[in-house]
Structure 1
Amino acid sequence: MKKKVNFFSRCLVLMLVFAPFIQVFAQKTVVSGKITDAGSGDPIPFANVMFKGTDIGTTTSFEGQYTIETSKRVDSLVVSYIGYITKTKAVSNTVQKLDFQLEENVVNLQEVVFVAGENPAYEIMRNVIRNKDKNDKRSLDAYEYETYSKTEVDVDNITDKFKKRKIMQKIISVMDSVERMAGEDGQPILPIFISESLSKTYYRNNPKLKYENILKTKITGVGIEDGTLVSQFIGSSFQEYNFYQNWLNIVSKEFVSPMADGWRLYYDYDLTDSAYVDSDFCYRLDFFPKSEQDLAFKGTMWITKKDYALKQMDATVTQTANLNYIEKIKIQQELAPTKAGPWIPVKNRVLLDIGEVTENMAGVLAKFYTSNRNIMVDDPKDQTFYAQPIKIEEDFNINNGNDFWNEHRHEPLSSTELNVYKMIDTLKSIPVVKTYTEILKVAINGYKKVGKLDIGPYLNLYANNTVEGHRFQLGFRTNIDFSDKWVLGGRLAYGTEDEQFKYQAFVENIIDRRKWTTIRAEYTKDIDQVGLAAEDLMGNYIFLAATKFGKLIRPYRYEQAKLSAQRELFKGFTPKLVFNYKTFNPLYNFAYYTQPGPDAPLATAFKTSEAIVEARYAKDEVFVQDDNNRISLGTLKWPIFTMRYTRGLKGVLGSDFNYNKLGLNVFNDLKMGFFGTSTISITGEHVFESLPYPLLKAHVGNESIFYTNAAFNLMNYSEFVSDTYVSLNYNHYFQGFILNRVPLMRKLKWRLLATANVIYGQLSDKNLALIPPNTITGEEMPPIHSFQKNKPYVEVGYGVENIFKIIRVDFLHRLNYLDNPDVSNFGVKISFQFIL
């Protein structure tokens, strides 16, 4: 018995000694998982994760991942983040995986209240501004890195009503798998596009030049082909945002950065935390726009204590901002220092949430992710290296299978993203989806692709006017499937009233894509109008098509042969050479004296041969290549200069005149922050010799009810003609700068605008002398007006855009030349536009 007592005593002593260790081992709790947005499925970085009732917590990584552990007995885990509803889940005291999907908290911005004394966030912000130049990557002499980009586009907000639509009935089986993909708390989404790209990005500071070389792309989408245009837009150049800039351009709008020089004018700040983020001790600043309707952000940024550099950023623009269709824009960023000091973003995530246009439609989510690595600094290349801002390797879509991407992705695809590829392939095979996407592509491009041909443009299929009666037209052009060097095209039209065929044929050779060198030859036989010529209205296709309807003003038949060549000699500078032969055969009462004086013989038709030299300079213009086309995305800052000299060659191919013309245009897009944006175009031209007025400048008028920037909107068609003129076209878009301050207007999201069109011109006495009086030809001739000396033509306007999101109304005032026949000093014109 004594031995038994001793045995149990020893066991008891051992249990007492090891009890703390046994307890620790038994109650060790380790929880890991991922925090995502319930609406988009995107990770939520920097979210707070804590065991309930303890001070044990952590934050999620940029990928939304977390791991947290404790030796204490706990029963639940709490996840919270600014802008989201806090969520709690039960935990077991063991090792487990626990994912959270947080729903957005749609509430008004909080009001920040401070007690007496200065807001402690202000001193941090002042230091951030003082150190901007030191920390901004643009202060580096040069930098380069490898970029991996990933883009996904999904249909979201899929309601039961939307599911009942005919097209959706065809894809219900796909929808079932989509709902399973969304997660236990997530909203169902329907992926329609996913892409990946690998590129090298290069930047040089002096002069400021940038170049992206896209090495490989992989694109899968409904109605999307793996073409050069899409491949350029999925590169890193269009997903780069630098918060050290005062203003960030997003979806063509200017948003003020929370790190702007004038930060106190736009934002309130709150210092909410300080902690180590990786190895950097950081301050957490929450920021809120002073006005909910302004194009500004709310969110959180982590600022390092040592350098006052931006370590992490989470910035969101909500649907309270004055934007159309867009419910949310979210930008998340993680930065790392370079060996030279300035910080470079190493991970970026952008979310664009586009709401339903109507109640019967779903919304769209666009998600962009970029990762940068292998960063090198201060090794600038020669300036010629940056000549082409975006270049795609010729084999960009060859040998880009799973083996390549598994090796070169900066991080593996998630299981959801792998399923996206499979789901899109399934959608593309559904016949009704194919039909709808083809209709949409025709509506956007104006052409229907049929093998190696594009048929169209459909905007010009039909017209009806006083000369041709019913006009029917059909055209084509070859696409890149035919050749990436040669483009052939043409069109054929027929009028039922004049019983005449009209046609055009052209051939173009793309000699060099890098320096964009082309040669083009074309021949045209058609009808046009003085002052409304197609060459003068290029880019205004809807207005040009509208001028083919109704009564034609000063119509004429012409035949034209044109040969042109152009080459970008260096970045931004493109000269162009043109030879142009054209005949003029009027279809209205027209004549001109062949020499000044009433006794000179009259003529009605003429021929011209011209040699034209044009030079265009746009310092920081960005282009993308759409198969065999080159598309300008405008300039970032500098104006565009275009100069043209024309020499008329008498005797060449029967030309009737020698003459010289010199013209200049300056165009600039001015971004003014919260004050809005302006566009300004100044044009001047001088004709040195005496010519019939159709060869001078017949200024574009507009007698329709529709507004257009291509015309003087209260001027009649061809009302004025000049041989020397200077014109100004100015448009200012206030965005929400003024009407955001009016409660009702703020709710409607209407926006003010202002316009001014001014022209100062003259028609010399020698040119006036070539115009015969009405009595000579025996029938009334349309009057030609000239501007009076020192009296410019002026029309000004104001208006409201964004009515029902698509309607613009302009109220216009003509200030002078009111004695001219059939003119008005006031007009109201409308137009339709899809703007954000």
Structure 2
Amino acid sequence: MERVPNYLIRSLYTLLIFVFSVLNLQGQIRIKGKVVDATTKEAITTASIKCEENNTGASTDKSGNFQLLIQKQTSEIFVSALGYHDKRVKIDSGVAYVEIALEHTNFQIEAVEVNRKKKYNNRNPATELIELVIKNRSLNKLEKKDSLYYEEYEKLKFGLLDPKRIFKKSDKDLAFFYSNVDSGVVDDKEALSIFMFESISDNYVQQNPARTKKIIKAEEKTEFDSRYINNANIESFMGYMFQPIDIYEESVYFINKQFLSPIASNAKMYYKYYVKDTIRTAQDIYVRLQFEPRNPTDLLFKGELAISMDGRYAVKSATLQLDEKANVSWVNDLRLRLSYYKDASGVMLQDTTDITVLFGRKTRDALFGRRTSVNRKYDLSNIPPGNVFSGAPIEKRLSPTFTLQGNRPVELSASEQNTYTNMDSLNNISSVRTIMALGYLVSQGYYSLGKVELGPLEYLYHQNEVEGNRIRIGGRTTAAFSEKVYLEGYMAYGLADREFKYNLRTAISLNGKPVTTFPAHYVEALVQHDIFEPGKGLGFLKGDSFFRSFRSNRPTKFLNTDAYRLGHLIEFGNHISLSSQMTVQRRNPIGNLQFALSADSTQFLNTINTSDLQFALRWAPNEKFYYRNLTRNTIIERYPVFTLQYNKGLKEFLGGDYNYDALRFSVSKRLFLNQLGFGDVTVSAGKIWGTLPYPLLEMPNIQEIKDRHSISYERVNSMEFVADQFLKFSYNHKLNGFLLNKIPLVKKLKWRELFGARMFWGDLSAKNNPYLSKDVVYFDKDDEGKIMTNVMGKEPYWEGYVGLDNIFRVLRVQYYVRMTYNEIKEPIKDRFRFSLHFSF
């Protein structure tokens, strides 16, 4: 069964835990209201409401509603919104609801009837206008300016909807759940924030050469108990799910999906457009367009655009909403609102973005997420400092003198302010700590003891042909032990071979920073005594988990290995890393594995000793990742990852028996194909020079690898192929329901198509072929006397799969087939694979 992604599990159990938020407020009254346009009576979103007498504030939601906690003696509130005149409103202590009308600059509306009863005409005034918008899109795209600066305020919130429904029983200990709710997120529903992050940053964009830089100068965020929750991962996850939106991109990437922009190059193929009305201001004329998907089940939006008629045809504002029939799971509603203003030169500058998503099942909302950002202080002729682009594209340079207090463009509501202060109290509740410890054990497999944590739970028991029942106890240190020194290891015992195995690894920081964070710089050392499949590398997680005991192609041949490694890694701000390692290994075959000499089959090679020097260069531009200790999982976006590795075998150095050279190169990338979904492609190639026994050559990896930049195979037998020059290829595609969405009735199931293929091709030189060379060892045989390893012909090995995802919202079914080399005696048969998979 495929493991549910750790970051998703962390998010889910965090929600269950932090359902317990904030403290009672006394001596205050709650006032609700709505801010509307004085002329059109339409709601004004992201208006700011501030009570200056007690320094509290709030902002309006997508329907113009707000909720504000004020002191009983308050007499006045201040209301402001971009494009409207500020207004002060007198408040009577007995007033519970107030509607506030703001005056816009002088404008007139010319109404135009929107008629959907007639057959839609692909050539109408609306589509002609969209053609002009698309034609001028590159000119209006802000990031295409030669040099640009702006300051950005960003606020991310995540939490529960209607917490009273979840906690029906009245409990004095949980009374604070009900007093810190916010009604400004969703209409007619109370929201309870359990995560919040704010930041103010300086942003620089340059075209020649193309570079971007974001410098965070002030931030504030909720902090959970770090023993169980990696706060940096939650921040990364939320930032990934709620990425900045640019209407001028071909697609809007959101909640791990790609939605076609209504002004994309091919948008007219997927959207219908209607002219709604015309807005005339004292300076400009804007046309409002409504749009809707031709096929509501596709990943498309419906909504409204306001287009300037000054010859630039730029977007003045955009409202985008997910169609309720779209093939998206766990999301009941998604709304995006973008606002732009025209500067003195006539360029439209994005000032406000508001994104709200409601998570739930069918019509029942359970969770919400919201991202609000405000851009200001634009400078389109900015000359950035010479060194501003050095280092990582996103850096934190927090200033002790510049804080969020007093610099927020939109004031926090009282409930938002209390979200921060109550997290410390929540972390100290014993019942919460117990739930968190249980959730951490389930999701990560470790039980925390503070400075040390025991695990992983999945590796406690394993079964194989040599050890029989294998029992393993492991653990690792945490930041409470040290942020600059890291240790992990295990002890294992096989009940059949009655042998102890062990592993110990340590890493020590060299740059005075935590060893786990980016950019890292550390030295590491490893010592390991254990049994390995031929062709497998060293590691703390070496494939001996509980679930690997039951795989159909589990190995029967092993090498008893003693290994010692000393390494060094340094990362640079541009996400280039350089690592070096010196590894000494002593291997001897155990069980029924034998290495008969090709010169004399009656003689056997009893040990394989190597001294290996390795250098690896890795470039992952703009990489983001989740991490825990030294383990990192890349957040896959559109950027590729390149790796170049060189190994040198040193004969007669520290007991090494072989001279060899090996060069390996790999690249992986996600291809976004708009409505056709996306595909993940990985290519790897390499060559090994030297005369070596075949366990030191390249074999297809049959161990399931969780690193998406590597390739593993489902239908290959252990040790089935070997090569000293090779090419690997992997492609996995998700259509996101593009075909099934077109089939009546089937589209209601919201299934999604999967397909993929993997290839291995390799060649074995004559000097390493035991049937042509007298200097190596013969391939071993199975219990029936059949040779287990093959030299490949001109045809590569191929396997593929097709599948369905999102069955019952949680199940994935794949059918794997082996497409070549079926003439080999008893190849692994084709099979179905069922796995749990949560995806939006």
Counterpart of 1:456 in structure 2 is 455
From 191, 196, 199, the equivalent of 2:198 is 196
Cα distance in 2, alignment partners of residues 695 and 493 from structure 1? 25
Is 1:668 the counterpart of 2:669 in the alignment? yes
Cα distance in 2, alignment partners of residues 814 and 834 from structure 1? 27
Counterpart of 1:146 in structure 2 is 151
Counterpart of 1:621 in structure 2 is 622
Counterpart of 2:756 in structure 1 is 755
Counterpart of 1:63 in structure 2 is 46
Q: How does 1:187-586 map to 2 (within 5 A)?
A: 187-220=189-222, 227-230=231-234, 239-276=243-280, 280-306=284-310, 307-337=312-342, 342-356=347-361, 363-378=366-381, 379-382=383-386, 385-393=389-397, 404-421=403-420, 427-512=426-511, 515-533=519-537, 546=549, 552-568=555-571, 571-586=574-589
Greater relative CO, 1 or 2 (CA 8 Å, sep 6+): 2
Residue type matched to 1:204 in 2?
Q
Q: How does 1:70-81 map to 2 (within 5 A)?
A: none
Query: What is the deviation of 1:243?
Result: 0.6
Cα distance in 2, alignment partners of residues 285 and 748 from structure 1? 32
Query: What is the deviation of 1:475?
Result: 2.8
Query: What is the deviation of 1:126?
Result: 2.1
- C-alpha deviations, 1:32-62, integer Å up to 9, x for none? 9854xxxxxxxxxxx9767xxxxx4344433
Residue type matched to 2:245 in 1?
Y
- C-alpha deviations, 1:74-111, integer Å up to 9, x for none? xxxxx999999xxxxxxxxx99885589xxxxxxx995
Cα distance in 2, alignment partners of residues 117 and 655 from structure 1? 73
Residue type matched to 2:137 in 1?
K
Runs (5+) with no aligned partner, structure 2: 1-30, 50-59, 66-90, 101-113, 771-775
Sequence identity of aligned pairs in percent? Answer: 25
Question: Partner of 1:459: helix, strand, or coil?
Answer: helix
- C-alpha deviations, 1:220-271, integer Å up to 9, x for none? 2665779444456667996311010011211221111111121211211222
Task: Assess if the C-alpha contact under 8 Å between 2:224 and 2:231 holds in 1.
Answer: no
- C-alpha deviations, 1:624-650, integer Å up to 9, x for none? 575765846456545332222211111
Distance 1:724 1:498, change over 3 A: same
Counterpart of 2:599 in structure 1 is 597
Cα distance in 2, alignment partners of residues 559 and 765 from structure 1? 30
Is 1:800 the counterpart of 2:804 in the alignment? yes
Residue type matched to 2:526 in 1?
E
Distance 1:34 1:238, change over 3 A: same
Counterpart of 1:587 in structure 2 is 590
Cα distance in 1, alignment partners of residues 765 and 700 from structure 2? 16
Question: Partner of 1:323: helix, strand, or coil?
Answer: coil
Query: What is the deviation of 1:522?
Result: 1.4
Question: Partner of 2:745: helix, strand, or coil?
Answer: helix
Cα distance in 1, alignment partners of residues 606 and 520 from structure 2? 41
Task: Assess if the C-alpha contact under 8 Å between 1:200 and 1:212 holds in 2.
Answer: yes
Residue type matched to 1:205 in 2?
Q
Counterpart of 1:73 in structure 2 is none
Cα distance in 2, alignment partners of residues 231 and 511 from structure 1? 26
Residue type matched to 1:793 in 2?
Y
Cα distance in 2, alignment partners of residues 201 and 137 from structure 1? 13
Query: What is the deviation of 1:213?
Result: 2.1
Distance 1:808 1:117, change over 3 A: closer
Cα distance in 1, alignment partners of residues 244 and 481 from structure 2? 35
Counterpart of 2:108 in structure 1 is none
Task: Assess if the C-alpha contact under 8 Å between 2:61 and 2:184 holds in 1.
Answer: no
Cα distance in 2, alignment partners of residues 818 and 226 from structure 1? 47
Cα distance in 1, alignment partners of residues 64 and 699 from structure 2? 58
Distance 1:472 1:152, change over 3 A: same
Task: Assess if the C-alpha contact under 8 Å between 2:605 and 2:777 holds in 1.
Answer: no
Counterpart of 1:739 in structure 2 is 740
- Taking structure 2 as the reference length, the TM-score comes to 0.79
Q: How does 1:105-120 map to 2 (within 5 A)?
A: 111=116, 113=118, 118-120=123-125
Distance 1:747 1:357, change over 3 A: closer
Cα distance in 2, alignment partners of residues 336 and 126 from structure 1? 22
Cα distance in 1, alignment partners of residues 401 and 632 from structure 2? 28
Distance 1:147 1:774, change over 3 A: closer
How many residues are treated as equivalent by the alignment?
Answer: 745
Cα distance in 1, alignment partners of residues 320 and 184 from structure 2? 24
Task: Assess if the C-alpha contact under 8 Å between 1:712 and 1:757 holds in 2.
Answer: yes
Is 1:812 the counterpart of 2:816 in the alignment? yes
Question: Partner of 1:467: helix, strand, or coil?
Answer: coil
Cα distance in 1, alignment partners of residues 137 and 545 from structure 2? 46
Cα distance in 2, alignment partners of residues 640 and 612 from structure 1? 19
Question: Partner of 2:389: helix, strand, or coil?
Answer: helix
Distance 1:198 1:608, change over 3 A: same
RMSD across aligned positions (CA): 4.1
Task: Assess if the C-alpha contact under 8 Å between 2:467 and 2:496 holds in 1.
Answer: yes
Task: Assess if the C-alpha contact under 8 Å between 1:702 and 1:716 holds in 2.
Answer: no
Task: Assess if the C-alpha contact under 8 Å between 1:199 and 1:235 holds in 2.
Answer: no
Question: Partner of 2:329: helix, strand, or coil?
Answer: coil
Counterpart of 1:106 in structure 2 is none
Residue type matched to 1:771 in 2?
V
Query: What is the deviation of 1:116?
Result: 7.9
Runs (5+) with no aligned partner, structure 1: 1-31, 36-46, 51-55, 67-78, 85-93, 102-108
Question: Partner of 1:189: helix, strand, or coil?
Answer: strand
Cα distance in 1, alignment partners of residues 679 and 796 from structure 2? 22
Query: What is the deviation of 1:214?
Result: 2.3
From 767, 777, 780, the equivalent of 1:771 is 777
Cα distance in 1, alignment partners of residues 46 and 619 from structure 2? 44
- C-alpha deviations, 1:302-325, integer Å up to 9, x for none? 222223221222211144211121
Question: Partner of 2:433: helix, strand, or coil?
Answer: helix
- C-alpha deviations, 1:541-577, integer Å up to 9, x for none? 9798557999642122211111222334572433322
Question: Partner of 2:356: helix, strand, or coil?
Answer: strand
Residue type matched to 2:265 in 1?
D
Q: Which range moves more in the overlay, 783-792 or 175-184?
A: 175-184
Question: Partner of 2:264: helix, strand, or coil?
Answer: coil
Cα distance in 2, alignment partners of residues 185 and 599 from structure 1? 80
Counterpart of 1:3 in structure 2 is none
Counterpart of 2:700 in structure 1 is 699
- C-alpha deviations, 1:172-204, integer Å up to 9, x for none? 523443579689972233332223222222222
Q: How does 1:2-17 map to 2 (within 5 A)?
A: none
- C-alpha deviations, 1:579-627, integer Å up to 9, x for none? 1111112223333356x52379521222111111222233x33235757
Q: Which range moves more in the overlay, 813-822 or 585-594?
A: 585-594
Task: Assess if the C-alpha contact under 8 Å between 2:333 and 2:359 holds in 1.
Answer: yes
Cα distance in 2, alignment partners of residues 452 and 703 from structure 1? 31
- C-alpha deviations, 1:263-307, integer Å up to 9, x for none? 211211222122257965322212111111111111122222223
Counterpart of 2:136 in structure 1 is 131
Distance 1:702 1:99, change over 3 A: same
Q: Which range moves more in the overlay, 757-766 or 415-424?
A: 415-424
Cα distance in 2, alignment partners of residues 799 and 563 from structure 1? 43
Counterpart of 1:730 in structure 2 is 731
Residue type matched to 2:140 in 1?
N
